[in-house]
Amino acid sequence: MLKSNMDLNKLKITVIGCGWLGLPLCERLIAAGHKVVATTTTPEKKAHHLKKLDVHLFDVISQVPDQNLLACDIIIYTIPPLGLGEVERFFHAVDPDSKILFISSTSVYGKSEGATNEESELTPQTKNGKYLKASESYLRAHFKNLTIVRPGGLYGENRHPLNSLQGKTDLTTGQELLHLVHRDDCIDAIVKIIENQSWSEDFNLVNDLRISKEDYYTEEAKKLGLTPPSYIHTPQENPTNISNEKSKKMLALQYKNQLK
C-alpha cells in the first residue's frame, strides 16, 4: 500500500528485476538515500547481490508477489517483455493507487511512422512490441499513477548494440533511423521522474543521434575492428523518427551519443 505522505528523500522502492538495468538502478537509488528491495530469479544471483541489496527470490512468470514486495512507495518494473497474462498476474496484486514506473520500449512504435512522439499511435510490428503495447494498455486502464518509460536500444558498460549484429548478412533494416540510449541516461530519467513526481506520463528515451542503422553500424564496426553487418538496400519511405524533446524539457536530460 502506498504511503500517504512520502518523504522524497527516504522512499521505499521495489525494483522488479535486478538485471543489467535493474542492478545499477538499485545502486543509484540506494546512494540517493532510498530503501530498495529488489527481485531476482535464482539463488546464485541473490547471493551475488546480497551484499548490496535486500534481494527477494521472485519469478514474475510463475509467482504472485506478496506484501513484502508490494509494501512500498514506488514499484519499478524492469522485466523484459512478457505476455499480457504474466503482467496481469503480477499487477493484479498491486494496489490501484500505487505509484508505478513501467519500463517499456520504443518497439511499441511502427517502422514507417515519420515524426513520432509520446502522443503518437502505437503500431508495433514485432512480437515484443505487441506484448508491450498490450501491457501498457492494461496498466493505463488500472493505475492512475503510472509512468511509462520507453527506452530505445540500451547500451553502456560491456553492452554494445553492434554485438548481436556483427557479421550478419542480408539485413533489411539499414534505412531505419537509429534510436539508442545509454543505460546511464535511462537511470537518470528514472531518478528524475521520482524526484519530480512525474506520474501519469509517458517518456521516450533516445539520444540525439539520427542516422541510418547501416551508416552507424558500418562505422562502428570499422572503429572496433569487427565484421560489419551487410544490408539489402531497400528504400524506406518516411522512417520512424522518435522525438526525445519531452524528456529533455520535463526531465532536463542531456543524452550521451556513442559516435563522439
pLDDT in tens, 81-95: 999 999 999 999 999
**Domains of the chain listed by start with CATH number:** 80-158+180-207+243-251 (3.40.50.720)
What is the rounded CA–CA span in Å between residue 125 and residue 18?
Answer: 28
Q: Which tops the pLDDT comparison, 27 or 260? A: 27
Cell of 63: 509467482
pLDDT at 42: 79
| Amino acid identity for residue 222 in this structure | K
What residues contact residue 68 under an 8 Å CB cut-off, 6+ apart?
37, 56
- Cβ distance 84 to 138 under 8 Å? yes
What is the rounded CA–CA span in Å between residue 78 and residue 23?
Answer: 10
**Which range has the top average pLDDT, 39-43, 44-48, 54-58?**
54-58
Confidence tier at 8 by pLDDT (50, 70, 90):
confident
- Compute the CA torsion angle 164, 258, 132, 29 (nearest 10 deg): 120
pLDDT at 46: 60
Average pLDDT of 161-186?
Answer: 94
pLDDT at 72: 97
Confidence tier at 2 by pLDDT (50, 70, 90):
very low
What is the rounded CA–CA span in Å between residue 205 and residue 253?
Answer: 9
Average pLDDT of 168-189?
Answer: 96
Confidence tier at 257 by pLDDT (50, 70, 90):
confident
pLDDT at 3: 41
The burial class, CB within 10 Å (0-12 / 13-18 / 19+), for 151 is buried
User: How many other CB atoms are found less than 10 A from the CB of residue 40?
Assistant: 24
pTM of the full predicted structure?
0.94
